[in-house]
């Protein structure tokens, strides 16, 4: 075969490969879309009966029912707690399925987002005797401010929840060579190295009973990973030399 003939064949083959690769990608993205839609519909449907139960429980609890015995009150408390947990789970699933539909062109002032998340979590930190601090340079990025707030909030909330009494949580944001670095450091229990990938899986918990005790439903980091993904970033976990964990998120700076 002549050289030009070989080249022609190669180009043909490459074209065919690229067509089947594109078809595969299309099918994959269709499958993801069906799954996303299913999660969104299921979460929507579950939300209404849960909200109705919540209203009934709130009404019941607000009247006090002094005639009730301790057993009944205990049962009602348990139902209220579980209802609240289910509602949080459904909300997290809904948030996750709606992620793709949110715009991502806000100009985000990182300083303001970090300050807001830390202020909102200050009561939880005080309750757990944890000291929060933020070191944020003059950094702006393009993305969804609701989602970036949620990302910081979830990471800091975990850093408080899985910390020791008297512990520290430090949020640091800086920019270097067109990349934005956001890290959340804690002085808590740490995450065993072999489980660091799995903590991002929905419903995965290192210590189920501790997470349950702290009111966790196992979706916080799954949501964090999705938020990082839709912003084309990356997230890694490493040990804090001072004991505990560091979550580090890196975004490429993109202009509108
Ligand atoms: P949860 O609702 O259980 O907190 P997440 O998805 O937010 O769910 O986190 C998954 C699991 O990862 C937690 O149950 C906990 O075991 C572990 N984890 C998350 N953040 C930390 C942290 N900062 N330090 C130690 N363990 C953590």
pLDDT tens digit string along 197-230?
Answer: 999 999 999 988 888 788 788 999 999 999 999 9
Residue nearest to atom 13 of ligand 1 (CA): 205
CA distance 222 to 129: 27
CA distance 101 to 157: 25
Question: Considering only CA atoms, which of 204, 174, 202, 180 is closest in space to residue 192?
Answer: 204
What is the CA(161)–ligand 1 centre distance, in A? 8
Residue nearest to atom 21 of ligand 1 (CA): 158
User: 181 has which bridge partners?
Assistant: 174, 250
The two structure tokens encoding residue 125: 């930190």
CA of 205, closest atom in ligand 1: 14
What is the CA(158)–ligand 1 centre distance, in A? 6
Per-residue pLDDT at 255: 56
Per-residue pLDDT at 73: 86
What is the CA(218)–ligand 1 centre distance, in A? 7
Question: Considering only CA atoms, which of 192, 187, 249, 180 is closest in space to residue 221?
Answer: 249
Residue nearest to atom 23 of ligand 1 (CA): 159
Contacts made by residues 40-46, CB under 8 angstroms, sequence distance 24+: 40/94, 40/97, 40/98, 42/93, 43/90, 43/91, 43/93, 43/94, 43/97, 44/94, 46/86, 46/90
What is the CA(173)–ligand 1 centre distance, in A? 21
The β-bridge relationship of strands 234-239 and 106-109 is unpaired
Classify 179 as helix, strand or coil: strand
CA of 184, closest atom in ligand 1: 23
* Pocket of ligand 1, beta carbon within 6 A: 158-159, 162, 186, 188-189, 191, 199, 204-207, 211, 216-222, 245
Residues (pLDDT < 50) of the chain are 256
């Amino acid at each position: 075969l002549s050289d030009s003939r070989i080249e022609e064949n190669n180009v043909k083959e490459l074209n065919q490969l690229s067509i089947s690769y594109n078809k595969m990608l299309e099918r994959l993205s269709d499958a993801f879309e069906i799954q996303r839609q299913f999660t969104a519909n299921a979460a929507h449907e579950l939300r209404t009966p849960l909200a109705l139960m919540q209203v009934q429980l709130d009404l019941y609890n607000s009247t006090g029912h002094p005639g009730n015995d301790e057993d009944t009150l205990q049962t009602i408390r348990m139902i209220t707690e579980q209802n609240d947990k289910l509602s949080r789970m459904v909300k997290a699933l809904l948030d996750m399925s709606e992620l793709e539909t949110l715009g991502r062109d806000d100009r985000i002032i990182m300083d303001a987002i970090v300050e807001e998340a830390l202020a909102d979590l200050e009561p939880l930190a005080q309750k757990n005797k944890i000291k929060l601090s933020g070191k944020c340079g003059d950094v702006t990025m393009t993305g969804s401010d609701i989602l970036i707030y949620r990302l910081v909030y979830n990471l800091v909330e975990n850093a408080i929840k899985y910390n020791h009494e008297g512990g520290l949580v430090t949020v640091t944001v800086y920019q270097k060579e067109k990349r934005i670095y956001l890290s959340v450091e804690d002085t808590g229990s740490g995450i065993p190295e072999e489980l660091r990938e799995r903590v991002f899986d929905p419903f995965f918990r290192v210590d189920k009973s501790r997470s349950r005790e702290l009111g966790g439903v196992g979706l916080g980091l799954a949501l964090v990973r999705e938020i990082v993904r839709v912003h084309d970033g990356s997230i890694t976990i490493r040990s804090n030399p001072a004991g505990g964990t560091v979550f580090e998120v890196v975004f490429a700076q993109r202009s509108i």
